[in-house]
Structure 1
Amino acid sequence: MNDDHDEFDDDEDELPQGPSKSQIKRDKLALQALAERLAAMPRAELERLKLSEATWIALDETPRIKDPRARGRHWKRIANLLEREDMEAVRQLMEGAEERERETNARHHALEGWRERLIGEGDPALADFIEQCPAVDRQQLRTLVRAAQRDTERGRPDAPRKLFRFLRETMDAVDS
């Protein structure tokens, strides 16, 4: 009887082991999420992928689909089409887009930090910013900081927004 049991175990080991149903479902859901992200990207970036005509047609149809259930089916359709595409190129494009997004977020947070420092600390932070960006219009910066300090005390958002825009433009000029 032990021999029969051993034979059964050997047969089990020889069965091909593919991905589980759960893994297949996770992969499909990941492709659907990727389809949504691709559809939101600018066409100029997507054109580097050399996608098939069927995939382009499906991506171009996306803005016309309003119903949430239809949109869900649409993402599944695009995901199925993406399975036939060069996924390495898609992966590289997405990594590049994510890296640019991280850089943009970091830059935004840095600008917010400068704005908060300038409003909170005043002249010491002003001196630090001028040291980092010597080409800045100091007069305009001082005026904007003073106005932002007054508006912050009064609970008004206008001057702090203007200060943020000025800081962004100044940093853009420095980076160029």
Structure 2
Amino acid sequence: MDDTPPPAPANDFAEDRRPSKSQIKRDMLALLDLGRELISLPPAKLAQLPLDEPLRDAIALAQRINSNEGRRRQVHYVGKLMRQADVPALRAQLSLWANGSRDQTRTMHRLEALRDRLIDSDEALTQLLERFPGLDIQSLRAQIRAARKEARDNTALPQGREPARKHFRALFQTLKTLDFEDETF
């Protein structure tokens, strides 16, 4: 008799590495949902996305179809074409449009805080002028004075009246034009 152990089963778990049918179906439904989202976008935003020409044409056709069954079939065709698309890039761009960039939000908050400091004290204006010597000082001071007056007038408003925000917003728009390359201001 041979004392060698019997050969191990030839089960290399190749089947376990394949995605299940359920996972494949979930992936296809996710692509279908992404395709529906792309179909709902306006043409200007679609032009900004990295789509190949057949997918772009299929989306444009789906947007023009009014028949429910025809549109459903076209949506499924778009979902099929989505298999070759750069899905992570598309999702990233859609997320950016939907939620906005964290950097943009952070910048807007910094600008709002700067605007509030400019309205509250002249020291912030001095610091701003040191950092940006080419600013139109007269125009900026006029905007700050108008925003301060607007703030004082708003505190005296009777209950239920909307406060004026015209100069407050104009000062913010002026600050948005400045180029803040770092976050130290």
> 5 Å matches for 1:138-149?
138-149=137-148
Q: CA deviation at 1:159?
A: 0.7
SS of equivalent to 2:168: helix
Q: CA deviation at 1:76?
A: 4.7
SS of equivalent to 1:134: coil
SS of equivalent to 1:31: helix
What is the CA–CA distance in structure 2 between the aligned matches of 1:118 and 1:67, rounded to whole Å?
Answer: 57
> Contact 2:32–2:75 (CA<8 Å) still a contact in 1?
yes
User: Which residue of the other structure, out of 169, 174, 181, is the alignment partner of 1:166?
Assistant: 174
Q: Does 2:31 align with 1:23? A: no
What is aligned with 2:122?
123
Q: CA RMSD in A?
A: 4.1
Q: Sort the Cα spacing of 1:83 and 1:136 in 2 relative to 1 into closer, same or farther, 3 A.
A: same
What is aligned with 1:4?
none
Q: CA deviation at 1:105?
A: 3.6
Q: CA deviation at 1:160?
A: 0.8
> Contact 2:150–2:167 (CA<8 Å) still a contact in 1?
yes
Deviation string for 1:28-50 (max 9, x for gaps)? 3543454435845351x33xx46
Q: Sort the Cα spacing of 1:78 and 1:50 in 2 relative to 1 into closer, same or farther, 3 A.
A: closer
Q: CA deviation at 1:167?
A: 1.3
> Contact 2:38–2:59 (CA<8 Å) still a contact in 1?
no
What is aligned with 2:52?
51
Letter in 1 for 2:165: P
Q: Sort the Cα spacing of 1:157 and 1:23 in 2 relative to 1 into closer, same or farther, 3 A.
A: farther
| Structure in which a larger fraction of residues adopt helix | 1
What is the CA–CA distance in structure 2 between the aligned matches of 1:69 and 1:145, rounded to whole Å?
Answer: 59
Q: Sort the Cα spacing of 1:15 and 1:137 in 2 relative to 1 into closer, same or farther, 3 A.
A: closer
Q: Does 2:61 align with 1:61? A: yes
What is the CA–CA distance in structure 2 between the aligned matches of 1:147 and 1:68, rounded to whole Å?
Answer: 56
- In our comparison, the structure showing a higher alpha carbon Rg is 2
What is the CA–CA distance in structure 2 between the aligned matches of 1:117 and 1:68, rounded to whole Å?
Answer: 56
SS of equivalent to 2:84: coil
**TM-score (normalised: structure 1):** 0.62
What is the CA–CA distance in structure 1 between the aligned matches of 2:73 and 2:66, rounded to whole Å?
Answer: 12
**TM-score (normalised: structure 2):** 0.60
Deviation string for 1:62-117 (max 9, x for gaps)? 554689999887655423211034x3xx545765784x944444433332232222
| Unpaired stretches in structure 2, ≥5 consecutive residues | 1-8, 155-162
Letter in 2 for 1:139: Q
Q: Does 2:149 align with 1:150? A: yes
Letter in 1 for 2:175: L
What is the CA–CA distance in structure 2 between the aligned matches of 1:117 and 1:146, rounded to whole Å?
Answer: 13
What is the CA–CA distance in structure 2 between the aligned matches of 1:123 and 1:28, rounded to whole Å?
Answer: 59
| Unpaired stretches in structure 1, ≥5 consecutive residues | 1-9
What is aligned with 2:131?
132
Q: CA deviation at 1:128?
A: 2.2
